[in-house]
Amino acid sequence: MFAQVISFDESADEVEAGIKHVEKEVLPALQDADGLTGFWLVDRDAGKRLSVMVWDSEEAAAAGMAAIEARRAELGDADAPRPTPSSVDRMEVYGSV
């Protein structure tokens, strides 16, 4: 298992735009994703968002990312601007409860 942690440091307007992006594109695309446990977190006062996705396998992660791309194409706004992360980290999961 591995986790992908994506961080965003944003203005208040960017935070709201980022949340809308996740609600419109990401969550619907990953709703039925196999091998995923995901959390999308926000601290509105600090202008911070985190996307934390724990995947069972590389194959599950690749299928999930493909589903997001398909959702973008389905919506017809594949060229719309997307929030730019301040960091993207990929980590091995070595424990869980």
Tokens read off for 97: 């409860």
| pTM greater than the 0.85 cutoff | yes
Query: What CA–CA distances, in Å, run from 32 to 1, 13, 29?
Result: 18, 29, 8
Residues 6+ apart with CB under 8 A from 81: none
Q: 41 in helix, strand or coil?
A: strand
Q: What is the pLDDT of residues 45-81, one digit of tens each?
A: 999 999 999 999 999 999 999 999 999 889 987 677 7
Could you read off the pLDDT of 8-43 as tens digits, one per residue?
999 999 999 999 999 999 999 999 999 999 999 999
% of the chain exceeding 70 in pLDDT: 99
